[in-house]
Structure 1
Amino acid sequence: MSKRCYCVTLEDGSTREYPEGTRFLEIAKDFQGHYENDIVLVISDGKLLELYKTLEKDCFLRFLTTGDDIGLKTYRRSMSLMLVKAVYDTAGHDRIRKVRIHYAAGQGYYCTIDGDISLNEVFLRQVEETMHRIVEQDLPIEKRSIHTDEAVELFHQYGMYDKEELFKYRRSSRVNLYRMGAFEDYNYGYMVPSTGYLRYFALHLYDEGFVIQLPEIANPRVIPPFAVREKLFQVQKESMRWGDLQNIETVGDLNREIVQAGAQNMVLVQEAQQEKKIAEIAEQIAKRGDVKFVLVAGPSSSGKTTFSHRLSIQLKVNGMRPHPLAVDNYFVNRDQTPKDERGNYDFECLEAIDVEQFNEDLRRLLLGEEVGIPTFDFITGQRKYDGRKLKMESRDILVIEGIHCLNPKLTETLPDDRKFKIYISALTQLNVDEHNRIPTTDGRLIRRIVRDARTRGTTAARTIAMWYSVRRGEERNIFPFQEEADIMFNSALIYELAVLKQYVEPLLFQITPDMEEYHEAKRLLKFLDYFLGIGTDRIPANSLLREFIGGGCFDL
């Protein structure tokens, strides 16, 4: 008896029939020639699926490639699985205690190996050769579902104790594992169908470990040049070591701390650590003696405003008189604002700022003159002067906040010895487990969803929809100038996702399956499910987290 056939409809309106039970992988092969990059996932009637799934009804299909955000994340996740397998295969399981994938470095991930091996160029080339062999073998990446209790026992046997700890607090009754040859691991998120897809990578020794260099979304078939931003890397490394000292490296460790010790001490220690760092920055500025302009820049939802307030307090402790100044108040009038390629106002480009007037005002302040300080009316799109004036004396100092503050062109007419540049970002030091990292962008996106809903009434769907544009602006206007900073500050709090969880989950649940942002919302909800919650009653009023959840002591 012949199988029933079902009709699939593609984005371009074309249709084709396939027998019931046909894997989407086989259907994807028929259409791969229409796509520049490798197809790695499919959306069937709005549901995101791996390609091993089968056709069971008439459906509308949309293929995702490594040129899509979700597709590239799938590629990178699959590459992490292959990397860990290759390390174990090269060294032997009995010689490896732990492989850790830490955080982004360059266009890849910084990794370390704890084991009875010498991590040198010879060993790294052996691992790389092993990875290429695995690619040539085109091993299927197979998924199986087991009970959570079984997963806890299994990872204990494997010596993957971070995963064992993670699943002790897992509410879901089942866990999906992925197998690549004889190697099995848990990975947070979907995978490509087989190792033959994982052709583009390079390994580079770096610091105490190595970096696996991976393609960018703009060109998923090309490995970009190896370049690590050293200052940023060192801040991430410092934060990682601080977490290690607190015995909180992973989400499982965080959950254990919440259950066994409660959150209060952890919160107080983390807040004290940040305050100590802010105080040290203020002392550096004071010791310089000649600084008149403290320039604070960072990507969206880094906590720049609260940081500036707290830094100002510490500057006062050091005998200085800080004055806040927002670069946004120097926007050009709306009719002069540049537009992007889509015809929308581009408020994030440097040309949206009246750089000439900004420099003139700061130059006059430096000379001791009295200057009228503008404010920008975002409703009318006009810069206006409401009588606020400023004159700087010997103890006065400006704390200037804006996305372009590290760009030399913003303050090009001002003497460099009068500037102190600070880069701030939420560089998440926590990972799901030793092989599953938490992207820093996820933490910032969650912060922004919570803040925008509270302060602007913006839906989570709208914030997610805008996130690509926000990230694009950061890539153009902020990240290229990170290394210009005199110092970097990590605003991420090791406990914050356990707090933000209770605020953001109801907002994400408002996103329905028929909405474009549904898959991202579902991914974030699954991610947050790993965390036990923490109440807000122990969060200090001056915490950076208060900028997002509310209840803070600063006028934001």
Structure 2
Amino acid sequence: MKKFKVNINNEVFEYEENTSYFDIVTEHKKKALLVKVDSKLQELHKTLKSDIKLEFITLSDVIGRSTYERSAVLILLKSIKDIYGENIKPIVEFSTGNGLFIRMNGESEFDIDKIDGRMREIVDENIRIEKMSVHTDTAIKMFHDAGFFEKEKLFKFRRVSRVNIYKLEDYIDYNYGYIVYSTGFVDKFSLTKYKDGLVLIIPKKDNPEVVEEFVPEEKIFNELNNASKNAEDMGVADVGSLNEMIANGMTNEMILISEAYMEKKIGDIADDIVKRGNVKLVMIAGPSSSGKTSFSHRLSIQLRSHGLKPHPLEVDNYFKNREDTPRDEHGELDFECLGAMDIEKFNEDMLALLNGEEVEIPSFNFKIGQREYNGNFLRLGKDDILVIEGIHCLNDELSYRLPKDSRYKIYISALTQLNIDEHNRIPTTDGRLLRRMIRDVRKRGTSPTKTISMWDSVRRGEEKYIFPYQSSADATFNSALNYEIAVIKQYVEPVLFSVQKDSKEYPEAKRLLKFLDYFLGIPSDNVPSNSILREFIGGSTFNV
């Protein structure tokens, strides 16, 4: 039997041809969910065909955790089917708090302990999850027979000739992404009953041995829930339905309705600010590529319609000079921490403005790393109001000296309400990453490879400095548009092909390309010039 060399952490091992990666993982006693073979991700049922470099992908990796979640969902869906048959139709909706929300359509009552017990039986039995490749026409018939009509619709618009389907005993499903080798890999999870469904909780990647208690985030849940129901009302709750509307020539109507819904939400927030009567500081924060700048412009227009005079202000103008910027644990300058801001000067200036004094607002010169004063004087009159944008705007430590009733805090994020189908959600981070990628290319000359390489760091900063404070906001605004990925596809797809196959960013670029392939593209001609989407694709009426 022919043997091949396998390089694992610079140590070389020999294995016979056709040895499965599952056997190699088992021999090395690693809790690997996938492997990376010469920079290409592979599931564990695949076998050895040549000399390779092998890396183990675990729950501590981003792709490992998403594989674990996807596999846990597969086991959950089979368990529900085993207990309730066709009486409950579970819909995998969105992340909420530290878990994944699954809406239980059908019977109003369900026994969560029964579902949990059935899941654990399936895990204990360590059942092999089979992967089958079938012709697309066959897959469409299988989805129809199984009652998965969103999947049936989705694959009517797919150009591929074959589809990979996963089979767990008598249960079959399509999954957007990889699945583990067998059910025994998914041994840590919990279920919590919540609203009209349940929440599935799995370990975090930085603490893979612990399943934490569910921590609900009511405001974010309500925003996502409303967006999901709005998408259903519009008939675009999933990608297949979106593609159907595009194919039927309803694109312009869909864009107009989506934008009108967003304008109403902005108007409602402006109304609430005005009703409070004493708000002088509107403070806006949100994760990367949420459309904060366009939102602040559109909110300012709504405030003007109420007779107010909004003035934009960026907290970044209050950065400490470069020599005073703190450093992180790696000795690198930490621009994202609160300590990088001159909090005292910010509070001093804002208090002076609230007291009717004239203040010279600084600007920060990022080229030389110094704060500058260029004669930008401001005094707030009765109808003047500041619209302030910055990463720490929801953190009370930034504005600790300012009266609470003078502040109105807004959390903004692109909370994707569209799902691929009834069992495959689109992570909110995917929409934001695509937005950022096209803006980076267009405005900063940054390659997709660089954007992907920085993304984990960007997200760590968000988790540390933004997400912990989102529940303290007076208003939450969802900047995601039902139709946007179909437009973004035209801009981001070509540049993703520039990511080199030998780069460590290639698997993520390949995943995003596969994701974009689900969508029919639409031109940007009918996207309004004041749309938040214009902040990323260009052509905005605002200076963004």
**1:414 corresponds to which residue?**
402
> Match for 1:102 among 93, 106, 119?
93
Runs of 5+ unmatched residues, structure 2: none
**SS of the residue 1:114 aligns to:** strand
Counterpart-to-counterpart distance in 2, 1:10 and 1:168:
42
Tell me the TM-score normalised to structure 2 length: 0.99
Q: How does 1:254-273 map to 2 (within 5 A)?
A: 254-273=242-261
**1:377 corresponds to which residue?**
365
Offset at 1:248? Answer: 1.1
Counterpart-to-counterpart distance in 1, 2:197 and 2:151:
22
**SS of the residue 1:410 aligns to:** coil
Offset at 1:107? Answer: 1.7
Counterpart-to-counterpart distance in 1, 2:138 and 2:426:
25
- AA aligned to 2:169 is G
**1:78 corresponds to which residue?**
71
- Divergent runs of 4+, >4 A: none
Offset at 1:459? Answer: 0.3
Question: Deviation per CA, 1:254-288, whole angstroms, max 9, x where unpaired?
Answer: 00111113310000000011011111111111111
> Match for 1:216 among 201, 204, 226?
204
Counterpart-to-counterpart distance in 1, 2:6 and 2:489:
38
**1:238 corresponds to which residue?**
226
**2:213 corresponds to which residue?**
225
Counterpart-to-counterpart distance in 1, 2:352 and 2:121:
65
Q: Does 1:51 align with 2:44?
A: yes
Contact 1:324 1:400 (8 Å CA) reproduced: yes
**1:19 corresponds to which residue?**
16
Q: Does 1:456 align with 2:458?
A: no
Q: Does 1:4 align with 2:2?
A: yes
**2:182 corresponds to which residue?**
194
- AA aligned to 2:332 is N
Q: CA RMSD in A?
A: 0.8
Percent identity among equivalent residues? Answer: 52
> Match for 1:29 among 15, 26, 30?
26
Q: Does 1:288 align with 2:276?
A: yes
Q: How does 1:396-545 map to 2 (within 5 A)?
A: 396-545=384-533
Offset at 1:533? Answer: 0.4
Contact 1:107 1:215 (8 Å CA) reproduced: no
**1:119 corresponds to which residue?**
109
Tell me the TM-score normalised to structure 1 length: 0.97
**SS of the residue 2:260 aligns to:** helix
Counterpart-to-counterpart distance in 1, 2:97 and 2:384:
39
Offset at 1:118? Answer: 3.8
Contact 2:104 2:196 (8 Å CA) reproduced: no
> Match for 1:137 among 125, 144, 161?
125
Question: Deviation per CA, 1:326-351, whole angstroms, max 9, x where unpaired?
Answer: 00010000111111112211111111
Q: How does 1:156-167 map to 2 (within 5 A)?
A: 156-167=144-155
**SS of the residue 2:211 aligns to:** coil
Contact 1:365 1:371 (8 Å CA) reproduced: yes
Offset at 1:231? Answer: 0.6
Q: Does 1:63 align with 2:59?
A: no
**2:338 corresponds to which residue?**
350
Which range is displaced more, 216-225 or 419-428?
216-225
Offset at 1:56? Answer: 0.8
Runs of 5+ unmatched residues, structure 1: none
Counterpart-to-counterpart distance in 2, 1:221 and 1:81:
21
Contact 1:119 1:209 (8 Å CA) reproduced: no
Offset at 1:385? Answer: 0.5
Contact 1:24 1:51 (8 Å CA) reproduced: yes
How many residue pairs match? The answer is 544
Q: Does 1:41 align with 2:34?
A: yes
**SS of the residue 1:299 aligns to:** coil
Contact 1:282 1:311 (8 Å CA) reproduced: yes
**SS of the residue 1:39 aligns to:** coil
**SS of the residue 1:339 aligns to:** coil
**SS of the residue 1:62 aligns to:** strand
Contact 1:202 1:214 (8 Å CA) reproduced: yes
Contact 1:108 1:213 (8 Å CA) reproduced: yes
**SS of the residue 1:488 aligns to:** strand
**SS of the residue 2:253 aligns to:** helix
